[in-house]
């Protein structure tokens, strides 16, 4: 059995995050020691490692919840899990496309810079007026990354 601190150490997931995953039901509530410390077994460690890896791959918590639910029924066909992975792949590709467009825009902005004074700075001008951008990335791109 592992305490929450040791579980955090072996999985690389911070203690507050482990508590949060318990709170939202991704991890089952831990058993307690006589001293009221949380205690985790191998199954909790494996589940938390699964969650961490899925998060590293960018899966949202709701998709992880679905995947965990599917994995709890080993005889079930994996088509539903495949579909969840396809949605995530599509989201990653869209994010890569947006990032590539942002990179292109930043390169263009810097190439147009005359390296003079701030009064003539193309970077400041473009950031101050979206109409100077070659591509439409307006609308909270940063929020979607």
| pLDDT tens profile 60-108 | 999 999 999 999 898 999 999 999 999 999 999 999 999 998 898 888 8
Average pLDDT over residues 101-117: 82
Q: Does the pTM exceed 0.75?
A: no
CATH code at 2-59: 1.10.1660.10
What's the pLDDT at 17? 96
Phi, psi of 20 (to 5 degrees): -65, -45
Residue-range domain boundaries for the chain? 2-59, 79-144
Q: What share of residues in the chain are helix, strand, coil (percent, to 5)?
A: 65, 5, 30
What's the pLDDT at 82? 96
Sheet containing strand 31-32, strands side by side: 2-3, 38-40, 31-32
Give the C-alpha separation, 10 to 2, whole Å: 9
Give the C-alpha separation, 77 to 133, whole Å: 47
User: Which residue shows structure tokens 């490692």?
Assistant: 49
Count of CB atoms situated within 10 Å of the CB of 105? 17
| pLDDT tens profile 12-66 | 999 999 999 999 999 998 888 888 888 999 999 999 999 999 999 999 999 999 9
Q: Strand (E) positions, 21-144?
A: 31-32, 38-40
More confident residue, 117 or 21: 21
């Amino acid at each position: 059995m592992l305490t929450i601190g040791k579980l955090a150490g072996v999985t690389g997931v911070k203690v507050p995050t482990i508590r949060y995953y318990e709170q939202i039901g991704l991890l089952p509530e831990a058993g307690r020691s006589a001293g009221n410390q949380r205690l985790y077994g191998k199954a909790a460690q494996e589940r938390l490692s699964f969650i961490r890896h899925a998060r590293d791959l960018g899966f949202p918590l709701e998709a992880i919840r679905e995947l965990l639910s599917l994995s709890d029924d080993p005889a079930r066909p994996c088509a539903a899990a495949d579909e969840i992975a396809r949605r995530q792949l599509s989201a990653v590709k869209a994010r890569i496309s947006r990032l590539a467009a942002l990179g292109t825009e930043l390169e263009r902005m810097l190439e147009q810079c005359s390296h003079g004074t701030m009064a003539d700075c193309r970077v400041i001008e473009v950031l101050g007026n979206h109409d100077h951008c070659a591509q439409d990335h307006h609308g909270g791109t940063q929020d979607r990354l």
